Amino acid sequence: MDLRQKIESKQVVIGVVGLGYVGLPLLIEFAREGVSVIGLDIDESKIQKLAKGESYIKHIPSEKIAKINAMGKTQYTSDFVRSAEADVLLLALPTPLDEHREPDLSYITNTGYSLKPFLRKDQMVVLESSTWPGTTDEALRPILEESGLICNKDFYIAFSPEREDPNNPKFHLRNIPKIVGADDPYALDCAVKLYGYVTTPVPVTSTRVAESAKLLENIFRSVNIALVNEMKMILDRMGIDVWEVIQAASTKPFGFMPFYPGPGLGGHCIPIDPFYLTWKAHEFDMPTRFIELAGEVNTNMPYYVVEKTVEALNNVDKSMRKSKCLILGVAYKKDIDDMRETPAFKVMEILREKGAEVEYYDPFIPKLPATRKYQYDMSSIELTPEKVKQYDVVIVITDHTDVDYQLVRQNAKLIIDTRNVFRLYGPLKQGNIVKA
Ligand SMILES: NC(=O)c1ccc[n+]([C@@H]2O[C@H](COP(=O)([O-])OP(=O)(O)OC[C@H]3O[C@@H](n4cnc5c(N)ncnc54)[C@H](O)[C@@H]3O)[C@@H](O)[C@H]2O)c1
């Protein structure tokens, strides 16, 4: 039976390599289809938890893992020898920037080297990580071909970008169409049929088109967020509320799509992916002016938030030095526990540099783990009326749903609201709300 027949008859064994925010939901959905799935990750603690039916991602309930485990066709391992058992390997690996803000493909290349000794005929490797056009063909394929097997003859490769939006109640793997690209018709057909188990595949004619489409999606967001952040600053100077302006503009039934301002970009995608294209464009002597400009505007946002805080404190005869600040929400977006690239860390850093005392509250993040860049040794405070009263200013960075905003409104002296969350609650009982 060849690969296509295995996929068509649902006798395929699927390996998911990298069981993070993207890989774990992917594994769950394929497992729910009743096919054999092997989850592979170098993080042994994740493997052990999954084997016990435990989740380590807040918005993925452990019951989901327990349920697929009970079906008896899912296994977890950190041993790459077992990759040979999989007919198709889906790679959901990190693609960060390095300290020079250049693409760090080491997770992909390391995995390529780990898979190479066990690569076998008729296997297929699909990369899912967001990356520059050409990565699958130029960076991954040559490593796998060092095995002596020839790509798209002995084994196959494809690229299918991930559109997972963690904890989005409306859109998830099953109802988000998934772009699938391959440089060979048979490989494309196999990959399309495979993803057809769990979603609606959108076939494209090459891995490069699929890679570029993902970057276009994220650059589109980065540029539009920058535009609306710039509008926010201009309109604020004019004394006009950008939120009301966006609401009004959104009534146009065509040609306008609302984007909302905030304290800066966060997450593993929007602040990072555009620079994957910038890096590759240099090879072609092409400037990426929109991308750079959007990056510049968005990077400035945490500074803008602090400036507005300094001004608001000043207006109540307080200086930033020695003032007590509470950061409300440190996750990069609402209702998740992911802090990667969160603008909260930058805001906290600037506040501290200015001599403020900073604490935080986040119902999803009880402790701040050390990151490559920041070493905050802090725990979330308890949000009580007495505690809130102690702060000179409360700065809303993340608009989590599960926060008692009434309690904050009734007890805070001053609020800086970067998300317009207090629109629903009216003016402060004893102070001021400043939108920033
Ligand atoms: N998180 C999102 O919302 C999201 C959305 C769309 C696209 N993406 C893209 O998907 C990719 C994965 O992102 P993520 O958020 O799932 O990352 P993640 O950090 O949550 O997960 C990556 C996993 O890979 C594992 N890993 C690292 N090196 C490995 C190796 N050599 N072998 C096996 N496992 C290894 C890690 O232990 C981790 O569990 C990135 O390219 C990201 O840009 C993410």
Let me know if residue 292 belongs to a domain.
Answer: no
**Residue owning the nearest CA to atom 20 of ligand 1:** 20
- Angle at the Cα of 377 from the Cα atoms of 375 and 380, rounded to 5 degrees: 125
| Residue 40: closest CA among 60, 26, 54 | 26
Neighbours of 56 (CB within 10 A): 16
**pLDDT band for position 315 (50/70/90)?**
very high
Judgement on whether residues 310 and 199 belong to the same structural domain of the protein: no
The pLDDT of 35-43, averaged and rounded, is: 98
23 C-alpha to ligand 1 centroid (Å)? 7
Q: What atom in ligand 1 is closest to the CA of residue 129? A: 41
254 within domain boundaries: no
Give yes or no: residues 179 and 306 share one domain: no
Q: Between the ranges 96-100, 169-173, 214-218, where is the mean pLDDT highest?
A: 214-218
Q: How far is the CA of 381 from the centre of ligand 1 (A)?
A: 30
3-state secondary structure of 98: coil
**Tokens at residue 141, please?**
């394929």
Residue 219 lies in a domain: no
Q: Is 41 in the pocket of ligand 1 (CB under 6 A)?
A: yes
Backbone φ and ψ of 37, nearest 5°: -130, 140
User: Quick one: 80 and 197 in the same domain?
Assistant: yes
Overall average pLDDT of the 357-371 stretch: 93
pLDDT the model gives residue 411: 95
Does ligand 1 lie within 6 Å of residue 22's CB atom?
Answer: yes
Contact between residue 37 and residue 28 where contact means Cβ atoms under 8 Å apart:
no
* Residue 43 alpha carbon, nearest atom of ligand 1: 37
> What 3-state DSSP class applies to 39?
strand
108 vs 119: CA distance, rounded Å: 15
What pLDDT is stored for residue 124 in this prediction?
98
384, two tokens = 């009580």
Nearest residue (CA) to ligand 1, atom 15: 21
Eight-class DSSP state of 333 = S
Q: DSSP letter at 252?
A: -
User: What one-character-per-residue DSSP string does 279-305 give?
Assistant: HHHHHTT---HHHHHHHHHHHHHHHHH
Q: Is residue 396's pLDDT more than 80?
A: yes
pTM attached to this predicted model: 0.93
Q: Please tell me whether residues 26 and 151 are part of one structural domain.
A: yes
**255: which 2 tokens?**
């040609």
Q: Are residues 185 and 328 in the same domain?
A: no
For ligand 1, atom 11: residue with the closest CA? 129
Q: Which of these, 237, 238, 248, 177, lies nearest to 213 by C-alpha position? A: 177
Residue 375 token pair = 């070493």
Cα–ligand 1 centroid distance for 177 (angstroms): 20
Q: Are 374 and 352 in contact (CB under 8 A)?
A: no
Q: Is any ligand 1 atom within 6 A of the Cβ of residue 77?
A: no
Q: Average pLDDT, stretch 35-58? A: 97
pLDDT digit string (tens) for 270-305?
999 999 999 999 999 999 999 999 999 999 999 999
Last residue of a domain, one of 205, 225, 258: 205
Name which of 86, 79, 84 is nearest 27 in CA terms. Answer: 86
262 domain-assigned: no
> Best substitution site from 38, 41, 79 to test ligand 1's pocket, by max atoms within 8 Å of Cβ?
41
- SS3 of residue 149 by DSSP: coil
Between the two ends of the chain, the Cα-to-Cα distance in Å is: 61
Is there an atom of ligand 1 within 6 Å of 392 CB? no
69 and 187 inside one domain: yes
- The reply to whether 323 falls in a domain is yes
Q: Are residues 323 and 176 in the same domain?
A: no
Is residue 395 within 8 A of residue 414, CB to CB? The reply is no
| 200 and 307 inside one domain | no
What is the number of structural domains in the chain?
2
Same-domain status, 195 and 337: no
Closest approach atom of ligand 1 to CA 46:
39
* Helix, strand, or coil (residue 201): strand
H-helix segments, 33-105: 44-51, 62-70
pLDDT at 13 over 80: yes
Given this model, what pLDDT does residue 431 score? 77
pLDDT digits 0-9 by tens, 319-346: 999 999 999 999 999 999 999 999 999 9
Residue nearest atom 5 in ligand 1 by C-alpha distance: 164
Our CA dihedral for 35, 38, 41, 43, rounded to 10 degrees, sits at: 110
CA of 15 to the centre of ligand 1 (A): 15
d(CA 329, CA 334): 8
In the chain, what percentage of residues exceed pLDDT 90? Answer: 92
Residue 8 included in any domain: yes
Q: Using 50, 70 and 90 to split pLDDT, how confident is the model at 89?
A: very high
- Domain span at 128: 3-205
pLDDT higher than 90, residue 101: no
Residues in the chain, how many?
Answer: 436
Q: How far is the CA of 108 from the centre of ligand 1 (A)?
A: 10
103 within some domain? yes
Q: Please name the helix (run of DSSP H) or strand (run of DSSP E) that holds residue 227, with its range, or none.
A: helix 207-237
In short, whether 268's Cβ falls inside 6 Å of ligand 1 is yes
- CATH classification of the domain holding 400: 3.40.50.720
Strand partners, 416: 395, 434
Q: For residues 147 and 126, is the Cβ–Cβ distance under 8 A?
A: no
- Contact at 8 Å (CB) between 89 and 15? yes
Let me know if residue 243 belongs to a domain: no
pLDDT tens, 148-206?
999 999 999 999 999 988 878 899 999 999 999 999 999 999 999 999 999 999 999 99
* Ligand 1 pocket check for 94: Cβ under 6 Å: yes
SS3 of 353-404: the string is HCCCEEEEECCCCCECCCCCCCCCCCECCCCCHHHHHCCCEEEECCCCCCCC
Task: Return the pLDDT at 224.
Answer: 98
Least confident of 166-170, 220-224, 315-319, 411-415: 166-170
Q: Which atom of ligand 1 is nearest to the CA of 24?
A: 16
Domain end marker among 155, 178, 205: 205
Out of 171, 205, 239, a domain closes at 205
9 pLDDT exceeds 80? yes
How many Å apart are CA 313 and CA 182, to the nearest integer?
56
pLDDT at 330: 97
Is 190 assigned a catalytic role?
no
Residue 268: what pLDDT? 86
**Of 17, 21, 332, best ligand 1 pocket probe by most atoms within 8 Å of the beta carbon:** 21
For residue 273, report the distance from its CA to the centre of ligand 1, in Å.
13
pLDDT value at residue 372: 75
pLDDT of residue 371: 80
Q: How confident is the model at residue 428 (pLDDT cuts 50, 70, 90)?
A: confident
- Å from CA of 270 to ligand 1 middle: 15
